[in-house]
Amino acid sequence: MIEYNRHIKEYLNYNHSSFSNLIPEGEWGNTGLAEIYLQKYWLAEEEYKEKWKSIQDKIFNQEVGLPDLVYRPEFEMIALKGGCLFAEEDFNQLQKVMQEIGNEHFVVIQYSQELTEGEPMFRMKFPVNITWDELTSGNYISAVLLEMSYNEYYVFSESENWGKYSANDYEQPLDIIGFRPEYECVFRKQFEQSKEEQEEIREWLPPKYKGTIK
Amino acid sequence: MSYDKSLTTNLEDKYQFNGIDYVGDFGLDWSMASYRSLDASYGNWGGVDPKAEHDLASSPYAVNYNNPISFNDPNGDCPICPAIPFIVAGLVGGTSNVVNQALKGNIGNIWQGIGYFGTGAASGIADYLAPGSGRLLQPVLNKGQQSISGEFALSDLGSYSAGDWALFGLDLGTDALTGGTNSISSSLSTKWVQSLSGGNATYLVGAAHWASEPVEIIARKKVEKTTINSVASGSAANAAKGSTKLLNQFNSVESLLQNAGKFSRVKGGAQQAFVKGDGASIFKAISQGGTRQANGTILMKDGTTLFNHFSSKTGAYTLDINRAGQIFKLRITP
């Protein structure tokens, strides 16, 4: 059985079609594009368990979301505004970091959604050099993946040196990027924030993060 | 006591079926009871009976056991509850009369006993409903409410037609008449609403007969306005009633957005804010007149799209609004 069959069916007629910036409502529902996208970028459960799960566990505390600390203690963090998995600008920023570090692939693993009605969850793998147009080429599937405002995700690469937690459904949506201390310069350069933005986001942080994020 | 008809006003009567807050805006036909809402367009409750296990034979959505003449369910949880005092009064009166007549040796057979029971039961109910008992006017008090409401049985109006009766209110603090909303209408049940103006005054409300001179008052009730305003807002029992005020405040997408807290722009272009209130009630109010689409969203006539869901992490009620391409996300917390 193909692991993403439910995604093709269940997101075909989905509330986000009325809210998407990527796919106009009239173009929503191209199952051909959706299937091609999933064929190319779906991360099979077997590969996830064999390779990626152990990497994930070296970066993130297992099955923890905000307000608890999602990163292991050795990771430093930057907090950014969340709201969706990627907007074009912040994807480009992360892509530059990944290329600088020398990563080849990154994966997107959806965090469990306890209170939704069993919507199928995403588990994707993309090449680091993917273009924004290609990343968004899956019609309604990529629209839900990238934009759905209550989906939360772990993002990381094979390097085990950084991660991104998309806490879109926290009270105020946040992106928490974690990295090993030796990569601090790279991340702070790409994700530079104004003083005002830092202060605004600081107000939104859970208490456990306020004392940890510089 | 004389009564000047010209002092009555024609305020909208929002307290209608069973004295429940009525929402009729934008073609809706909802009565907002304490426990659930009634959609009169198809005659069923919009939610399951919170005490459904007490009557497994009926649908948990059925209203008054599908018999609105015999039953009355003002809170949405118990169609027979309003009748219980009458049943008790009838049983006490009937039993008491049977015992009295038996002690006097007046009961020679079972039919005489049944007859005396019936007479006693009728007498007991009549005593219970006697004018001046205050039971004919049972105010529904909501926090911040500027009016009270109640209901008469048609039989209480005697031989006169319902339209001959009018409502009145008297501010006992100033001795001034306040506006009753309208004359009693001839319907299955005769609802009344009395608006409460002025400060923390004591009001006398009642119904009076037009034609008789002096005016015949069939019922009266003193209401302390301070009592109304002192109803605790935090109790579970009043949470649904508190939404009445919110419904007035958030009765459209526009009013909701205007009254929401500070908006923060989040990634992807949406704006998020927080609102205090009852999410389900607010959604009902602002989605009036909208059409549910196949994808589960509500499309309003002006093109605005609404969607409600719960936070997958915290369970917080959340409203998504797309108004001409602007996306708003509102977290609604009690």
Mean pLDDT of B318-330: 92
Residue of A149, A199, A205 for testing the chain B interface, max B β-carbons within 10 Å: A149
pLDDT tens-place string over residues B26-61: 566 666 665 666 666 656 666 666 666 556 556 666
Residues of A near B (Cβ–Cβ under 8 Å) read: 13-15, 17-19, 21, 65-66, 80-84, 87, 90, 113-116, 147, 149-152, 169-173, 175, 200
Residues B146 and A19: their CA atoms lie apart, in Å, by 40
Predicted confidence (pLDDT) per residue in A11-35, tens digit: 999 999 999 999 999 999 999 999 9
CA geometry: angle B45, B49, B53, nearest 5 deg: 150
Please identify which residue in the block is written with the tokens 């609604």. B332
| Side-chain half-sphere exposure of B194, counting CA atoms within 13 A | 31
Total number of domains in chain A? 1
Question: A200: domain range?
Answer: 45-61+68-130+149-210
Tell me whether residue A76 is in a domain.
yes
List all residues 6 or more positions away from B69 whose beta carbon is below 8 Å from its beta carbon: B188
8 A C-beta contact, residue A50 and residue A125: no
Residue B271 confidence (pLDDT)? 92
Q: What is the DSSP string of chain A?
A: --TTHHHHHHTTS-GGGGT-SSS-GGGTT-HHHHHHHHHHHB--HHHIIIIIHHHHHHHB-TT--TTS--B-TT-EEEEEE-SSS--HHHHHHHHHHHHHHT--EEEEEEPP-TTS--PPPPEEEEETT--HHHHT-STHHHHHHHH-TT--EEEEETTSSEEEEEETTSSS-EEEEEE-GGGHHHHHHHT---HHHHHHHHHHS-HHHHTT--
In a domain, A24, yes or no: no
Per residue of chain A (214 residues), give pLDDT as tens: 789 999 999 999 999 999 999 999 999 999 999 999 999 999 999 999 999 999 999 999 987 888 899 999 999 999 999 999 999 999 999 999 999 999 999 999 998 765 556 789 999 999 999 999 999 999 999 999 999 988 999 999 999 999 999 999 898 999 999 999 999 999 999 999 888 888 899 999 998 898 888 7
Across the interface, do A18 and B295 touch by the CB < 8 Å criterion? yes
Rounded Cα distance, B116 and B124, in Å: 12
**Cβ-based contacts under 8 A for chains A and B:** 85
* A83 → closest Cβ in B267, B310, B316: B267
Assigned domain for A141 exists = no
Say yes or no for a CB contact (<8 Å) between B331 and A171. yes
Calpha distance A18→B290 (Å, rounded): 14
Mean pLDDT lowest among B73-82, B166-175, B199-208, B219-228: B219-228
Question: Quick check: B291 contacting A, CB < 8 Å?
Answer: no
Once rounded to an integer, what is the mean pLDDT over residues B275-279?
A: 81
Q: What is the pLDDT of residues B158-215, one digit of tens each?
A: 544 545 555 555 544 444 444 443 344 444 345 555 555 444 444 454 555 544 444 4
A83: left (phi over 0), alpha (psi -120 to 50) or beta: left
Question: What confidence score (pLDDT) does residue B111 get?
Answer: 80
Most distant CA pair in chain A, distance: 51
What ipTM was reported for this prediction? 0.91
In this complex, the residue of A15, A82, A113 whose CB is nearest that of residue B266 is A82
Q: Tell me, what's the pLDDT at A47? A: 97
Residue in chain A lying closest to B331 (CA):
A171
Average pLDDT over all residues of chain B: 62
Which of A115, A116, A204, A205 is the best mutation test for B, with the most CBs of B within 10 A?
Answer: A115
Give me B255's structure tokens.
Answer: 């009013």
Closest residue of chain A to B305, computed from CA coordinates: A18
pLDDT greater than 80 at residue B154:
no
Contact B295 A17 (CB under 8 A): yes
Chain B residue with CA closest to A170: the answer is B313
Under 8 Å between Cβ of B160 and B211: yes
pLDDT at residue B213, as a whole number: 42
- Helices assigned H by DSSP within chain B: 84-103, 110-128, 225-229, 236-249, 253-259, 279-286
Task: Evaluate whether residue A139 is within a structural domain.
Answer: no
pLDDT recorded at residue B129: 45
Q: What is the pLDDT of residue B47?
A: 66
For residue B248, give the 3-state DSSP assignment.
helix
Summarize the confidence of residues B234-263 as an average pLDDT: 56
Which sign, positive or negative, has the C-alpha torsion B16, B18, B20, B26? negative
For residue A85, give how far its alpha carbon lies from the nearest alpha carbon of chain B (Å).
Answer: 9
Query: Which of B26, B24, B32 lies closest to B246 in space, CA to CA?
Result: B32
Burial state string for B175-202 with b = 16 or more CB within 10 A and e = fewer than 16: eebbbbbbbbeeeebbbbbbbbeeeebe
Which residues in chain B have Cβ-Cβ distances shorter than 8 Å to A142? none
B315 contacts in chain A (CB < 8 Å) = 115
Nearest Cβ partner of B268 from A147, A169, A171? A147
Three-state secondary structure string covering A116-174: CCCCCCCEEEEECCCCHHHHCCCCHHHHHHHHCCCCCEEEEECCCCEEEEEECCCCCCE
Which pLDDT value is given to residue B77?
65
- The B residues from 245 to 274 touching A (CB cutoff 8 Å) are 264-270, 272
Q: What is the pLDDT of residue B29?
A: 63
Query: pLDDT tens across B131-144, in order?
Result: 333 333 333 334 34
B330 touches chain A (CB under 8 A): no
For B272, which residue in chain A has the nearest alpha carbon? Answer: A172
Is residue B124 predicted with pLDDT exceeding 50? yes
Residue type, A200: E
pLDDT at residue B89 above 70?
no
| Higher-scoring residue by pLDDT: B227, A89 | A89
| Any domain includes A125 | yes
Map residue B275 onto helix, strand or coil.
Answer: strand
Q: Which residue has the higher pLDDT, B78 or A133?
A: A133
Interchain contact, A116 vs B312, CB within 8 Å: yes
Q: In a 3-state reduction of DSSP, which class is residue B271?
A: strand
Q: How far apart are CA B3 and CA B217, in angstroms?
A: 10
Structural domain contains residue A4: no
Q: For residue A152, list chain B residues with Cβ-Cβ distance below 8 A.
A: 312-313
**Closest to A35 in 3D by CA, of A107, A170, A139, A188:** A139
Rounded percentage of chain B residues whose pLDDT exceeds 70: 32
In a domain, A16, yes or no: no
Calpha distance B156→B115 (Å, rounded): 24
Nearest C-alpha in B relative to A112: B312
End-to-end CA distance of chain B: 47
